[in-house]
């Protein structure tokens, strides 16, 4: 099937469809209408149909969608039938939390290596993967054709690490460092700026309280 250029907003919603369909499948549901999926996911049925039409519509024909087929297709579109190797740069608490997250493996993300500059951590293992010194990063990425680097190190080291990763052929960076990276356009970057998300929450708490007071 030829896929046209899909907007990042649509792509951003696919994992959520995938998650809900996985749950329906686990519950033994075989078919679901866009109407029922709409109620479940709290988005409009027309949004769902519009999103799915980007991929040929997945063949709803009055009977609703075939849950398992839809789950598999969306997984395939997301590339979850392929394997992607990843390393974690920064073996602090967050890096270790991500390394320990088994679910990634189920989705085809294979944890290959972990790096830190702190000698006290060298040789420590996270789910069987050893923490290595930063000096070994470049060769490791090149020789093992690593696809994805997870950056869980302080801002100060993140820019330099990103530069080295790019030079050694990394394809994508999952960035948890509190900085927007300067990398070539062909490198895929997903930022998870945790503080930003907490600040948004802070705003919305205060806003809501302000509104309540104003209404009194």
Q: Which is nearer to a copy of itself, 111 or 136 (CB)?
A: 111
Instruction: Tell me the window of 26-34, 44-52, 131-139, 198-206 that interacts with a copy of itself (CB under 8 A).
Output: 198-206
**Which H, E and C letters describe 132-145, residue by residue?**
EEHHHHHHHHHHCC
- C-beta of residue 112 within 8 angstroms of C-beta of residue 129: yes
Supply the minimum distance, in Å, between the C-beta of residue 62 and a copy of itself. 28
- Interface with a copy of itself includes 14 (CB under 8 A)? yes
> How big is the site for a copy of itself, counted in residues (CB under 8 A)?
56
Could you say which residues in the range 110-139 bind a copy of itself, by CB under 8 A? none
Contact between 24 and a copy of itself (CB under 8 A)?
Answer: no
Give the shortest CB-63-to-a copy of itself separation in angstroms: 26
How many helices and strands, by DSSP H and E, does the chain display? 9, 9
Stretch that binds a copy of itself, among 24-32, 96-104, 130-138, 159-167 (CB under 8 A): 96-104
User: How far is Cα 120 from Cα 98, in angstroms, rounded to an integer?
Assistant: 20
Secondary structure class of 55 (helix, strand, coil):
coil
* SS3 state at 154: coil
Burial class (CB in 10 A: 0-12, 13-18, 19+), 148: buried
Please give the structure tokens belonging to residue 128: 């069987």
Q: Is 46 in the site for a copy of itself (CB under 8 A)?
A: no
Q: Residue 9 phi/psi, 5° resolution?
A: -65, -45
80 binds a copy of itself (CB under 8 A): yes
CA 123 to the chain's CA centroid = 28
Summarize as ranges the residues that interact with a copy of itself (CB under 8 A).
8, 11-12, 14-16, 18-19, 41-42, 77-80, 82, 84, 92-94, 96-98, 100-101, 103-104, 107-109, 147-148, 171-172, 174, 178, 180, 186, 188, 190, 192-206, 208-209
């Amino acid at each position: 099937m030829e896929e046209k250029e899909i907007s990042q907003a649509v792509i951003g919603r696919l994992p959520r469809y995938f998650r809900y369909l996985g749950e329906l499948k686990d519950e033994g549901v075989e078919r679901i209408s866009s109407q029922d999926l709409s109620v479940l996911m709290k988005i409009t049925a027309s949004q769902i149909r519009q999103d799915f039409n980007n991929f040929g519509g997945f063949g709803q024909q009055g009977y609703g969608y075939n849950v398992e087929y839809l789950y598999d297709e969306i997984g395939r579109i997301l590339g979850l039938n392929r394997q992607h190797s990843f390393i974690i740069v920064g073996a602090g608490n967050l890096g270790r939390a991500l390394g320990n997250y088994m679910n990634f493996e189920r989705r085809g993300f294979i944890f290959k290596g972990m790096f830190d500059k702190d000698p006290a951590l060298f040789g420590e293992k996270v789910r069987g993967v050893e923490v290595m010194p930063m000096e070994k990063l470049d060769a490791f990425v090149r020789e093992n054709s690593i696809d994805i680097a997870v950056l869980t190190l302080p801002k100060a080291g993140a820019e330099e690490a990103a530069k080295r990763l790019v030079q050694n052929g990394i394809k994508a960076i999952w960035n948890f460092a509190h900085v927007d990276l300067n990398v070539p356009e062909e490198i895929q970057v997903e930022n998870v700026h945790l503080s930003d998300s907490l600040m948004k929450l802070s705003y919305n708490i205060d806003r809501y309280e302000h509104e309540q007071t104003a209404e009194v």
